[in-house]
Amino acid sequence: MRTRAQPPERPAQLAADCRVEVELGCADAEFSFQLAAARPDWLVAGVEIREPCLVRNRVRAQELGLGNLVFAYSNLNVDLDRVFAPRSVDRFHLLFPDPWFKERHHKRRVIEAGLVETIADQLRDGGELHVASDVFEVALEIMEVVEASPRLRNMIEAWSFWRGNPFEAASRREQTTLARGQRVWRMRYALVGPSVTAPLA
């Protein structure tokens, strides 16, 4: 039986070894749209669980002529490993995940140790996980999970946040947060060593 989570179709015009950037839980994908427009030679992929978002984003990408921007369905903690092959992604962006403050909703939170492991598997050598939140408590929770992984290293130092936005794009949530004079809590993690552990001989 064909599962809903499938690799996105790769645009034929892009080089086989082009850079691959992925926005996880992309929603309206404003970050991905800006990044794809700024970098037409990169493959930019938005991943989302809500089908209506995927439909709207695909229509918008076509209308804007962004042939390097694709979208894929995934329930991140369940089947992200079916969407991207090992060692195929240069950078993952996880931007402003829902905080789910109520105790009964904690199981819905995005970052879990298993997802971090999948992300590390899918990153190319030198790859990166970029995370941002406007809620300090959520940022700390995410940091706690990622810092526990021996496969990802904080690009500043352990338990440190990155100041400013080093990318050529900003999500709608980031734009709103900054317009209100509030801080974005940003983390950047680099892959340590080979992206997939070699099997024992």
- Please name which of 89, 151, 148 lies closest in space to residue 122, comparing C-alpha atoms: 89
Q: Which of 98, 121, 125, 134 is catalytic?
A: 98
Name every residue whose Cβ is closer than 8 Å to that of residue 170 and which is 6 or more positions away in sequence: 30, 31, 34, 178
CB 51 within 8 A of CB 83: no
Handedness of CA 118, 120, 125, 130 (dihedral sign): positive
To the query of whether residue 98 is one of the catalytic residues in this protein, the response is yes
**Among candidate residues 151, 15, 12, the one with its CA nearest the CA of residue 86:** 151
Show which residues are catalytic: 98
